[in-house]
Amino acid sequence: MSDYKNIDSYLEKNLDQSLAELSRYVAQPSISAQNIGLRECAQLVKEMLEARGFKAEVMPTEGAPVVFAERKGKSDKTLLIYNHYDVQPPEPLELWESPPFEPAIRGGKMYGRGVSDDKGHLMARLHAIDSILETEGDLPCNIKFIIEGEEETASVHLHDFIRNHKEKLSADACIWEFGGVDHRGVPMQYLGLRGICYVELSVESLGTDVHSGLGGSIFPNAAWRLVWALNSLKGPDERIRIPGFYDDVKQPSKRDRELMEALPDAAEEYKSRYGVKEFIKGLKGGIDLKMEEVFTPTCTICGITSGYQGPGSKTVQPARASAKVDFRLVPDQKPDTVLKQLRAHLDAEGFNDVQIEFLGGEAAARTDPDDPFVKLVVKTSEEVFEMPMQLVPTVGGSGPNYPFVHDLNLPVATAGLGYPDTKAHAPNENIRIDLYLKHARHMARVIKEFAK
């Protein structure tokens, strides 16, 4: 498209400069789980947006601040772009080939914690905006950014923030924080996210650790209490045993199944990438694996800790034990309901000594695959990637799209630079620089076509 000659040329010529800015952004740690560097990073984001002529504010929440920014454009239409400036903890540090907060480029990739999830996405979008401003002098439509700092800890305060600022955030459509290509290189349009209810379960059975030769026969053991409580949640058949848990689950539609059937079978890909020997529930691949992957709610132990964990043996009965557990939710499950069901279940099973700390939650939400905005994003993608985008009714991960879809009433479409080996949440997180450039080219087109 000749429309984009100058823009594409700008994006290529200024790529190194944009990557240098991304590098400075990634070098600022912003670990929401550990409350490290969040305020500093929010300030940096505000300055990045102000440098593009946006009116930007760092707005407080009860947790990490939200950066809101707005710049008017020629048309009345408003595009809302959602990103987050927080990142996952970098541990285990010893597995990184270069330090997580010292971004490094090698082999056409940039490495660093958050470079993919989600700092590279924001920076590629700013690169696209720069290309329009430099070649055309103005934006073709209004653009608003909402950039939060708690996405990696389940966006605890975002829902309230959005409900309290519906006017400020009003828009016609929303571009989601992520997107990308699958293992074949095909760009994917992710139309929904699962919800989540993340809790820490903990037990304190004694005032102090004791010698296991004394306590083992007669004192309550926190680790055993926790193991039994966890076992009561889900057994080896993978069925979640909390009464009522499945009551609100909406079964996938015929249309969902058709879209899922069109997706490639990732079974072999998963086996080689993640070292999976066998899938659970007897799954072998095909449509059954695909459907199970995203349309069932889950209960996952993300971590457990109790007692002595060093080398060799220590004969101690631990006084304390805790586990981090996430429930992935599907429509129409709600985290508040799951939390209540969990407490009632533990009490009923005799585990009222197990404390529940709620660490964040969000309901699932999905956008209609036939929404005109989705079609626009799909069409512009095809122009850049030179192949059709594939529609995915929902993914297995979670995010705060519920308030965007149901409070702001926006169609939400994904676009991004992700790819299967991006190692989000893992050591050696990275982006492919070719996809970074493509994402910027795609975003420039989304903005311009949307304005029409």
Residues 87-126 that bind its own copies (CB under 8 A): 88-89, 91
Residues 411, 45: Cα–Cα separation, whole Å = 25
- Residue 384 engages its own copies in binding (rule: CB under 8 A): no
Q: Indicate the residue among 31 and 446 with the shorter CB distance to its own copies.
A: 31
Q: Indicate the residue among 2 and 217 with the shorter CB distance to its own copies.
A: 217
Residue appearing with tokens 């080896």: 236
Binds its own copies by CB under 8 A, chosen from 213, 243, 286, 372: 213
- Residue 211 engages its own copies in binding (rule: CB under 8 A): yes
- Please report, in angstroms and rounded to a whole number, the separation of the first and last CA atoms in the chain: 16
Give how far the C-alpha of residue 200 lies from the chain's centroid of Cα atoms, to the nearest Å.
19
Q: Work out how close the CB of 389 gets to its own copies at its nearest, in angstroms, rounded to a whole number.
A: 21
Residues of span 27-46 touching its own copies by CB under 8 A: 32-35
Q: Indicate the residue among 90 and 112 with the shorter CB distance to its own copies.
A: 90
Q: Indicate the residue among 230 and 378 with the shorter CB distance to its own copies.
A: 230
Q: Indicate the residue among 55 and 284 with the shorter CB distance to its own copies.
A: 284
Nearest to 38 by CA among 165, 153, 159: 153
Residues 54, 236: Cα–Cα separation, whole Å = 53
Q: Please, are residues 319 and 302 in contact by the beta-carbon 8 Å criterion?
A: no
Binds its own copies by CB under 8 A, chosen from 202, 306, 337, 367: 306
- For 319, phi and psi rounded to 5 degrees? -85, -20
**What does the per-residue mask of binding to its own copies show for 235-274, with x meaning CB under 8 A?**
xx---------------------------------x---x
How many residues form the binding site for its own copies (CB under 8 A)?
91
* 3-state secondary structure at position 375: helix
Binds its own copies by CB under 8 A, chosen from 170, 300, 352, 409: 300
The one segment of 107-115, 139-147, 180-188, 321-329 that binds its own copies by CB under 8 A: 321-329
Q: Work out how close the CB of 417 gets to its own copies at its nearest, in angstroms, rounded to a whole number.
A: 17
- Residue 20 engages its own copies in binding (rule: CB under 8 A): no
The one segment of 13-21, 102-110, 130-138, 228-236 that binds its own copies by CB under 8 A: 228-236
Angle value at C-alpha 384, between 12 and 266, nearest 5 degrees: 115
Q: Indicate the residue among 1 and 280 with the shorter CB distance to its own copies.
A: 280
Q: Work out how close the CB of 120 gets to its own copies at its nearest, in angstroms, rounded to a whole number.
A: 17
Contacts of 379 (CB under 8 A, 6+ apart): 449
Q: Work out how close the CB of 302 gets to its own copies at its nearest, in angstroms, rounded to a whole number.
A: 5
- Residue 202 engages its own copies in binding (rule: CB under 8 A): no
Q: Where are the alpha helices (DSSP H) in 145-234?
A: 158-164, 212-215, 222-233
Q: Indicate the residue among 204 and 383 with the shorter CB distance to its own copies.
A: 204
- Residue 319 engages its own copies in binding (rule: CB under 8 A): yes
In order of 9, 16, 144, 440, the CA distances from 132 in angstroms are: 11, 18, 16, 11
Q: Indicate the residue among 31 and 173 with the shorter CB distance to its own copies.
A: 31
6 sits in which H/E element? helix 5-13
* 3-state secondary structure at position 426: coil
Q: For residue 355, what are its two tokens?
A: 């404390």
Residues of span 128-187 touching its own copies by CB under 8 A: 152-154
The one segment of 47-55, 232-240, 252-260, 370-378 that binds its own copies by CB under 8 A: 232-240
Q: Work out how close the CB of 209 gets to its own copies at its nearest, in angstroms, rounded to a whole number.
A: 6
Q: Where are the alpha helices (DSSP H) in 388-432?
A: 401-402
Binds its own copies by CB under 8 A, chosen from 20, 51, 214, 348: 214
Binds its own copies by CB under 8 A, chosen from 294, 338, 364, 412: 294
Query: How is 314-374 classified by DSSP, letter by letter?
Result: --EE-SEEEEEEEEEE-TT--HHHHHHHHHHHHHHTT-TTEEEEEEEEE--EE--TT-HHH
- Residue 326 engages its own copies in binding (rule: CB under 8 A): yes
Residues of span 386-445 touching its own copies by CB under 8 A: 395-398, 424-426
Q: Work out how close the CB of 125 gets to its own copies at its nearest, in angstroms, rounded to a whole number.
A: 23
Q: Please, are residues 82 and 175 in contact by the beta-carbon 8 Å criterion?
A: yes
- Residue 73 engages its own copies in binding (rule: CB under 8 A): no
E strands present in 130-220? 142-148, 173-175, 180-181, 187-190, 192-193, 195-204, 210-211
The torsion angle over the Cα atoms of residues 226, 228, 229 and 235, rounded to 10 degrees, is 130
Binds its own copies by CB under 8 A, chosen from 234, 345, 441, 445: 234
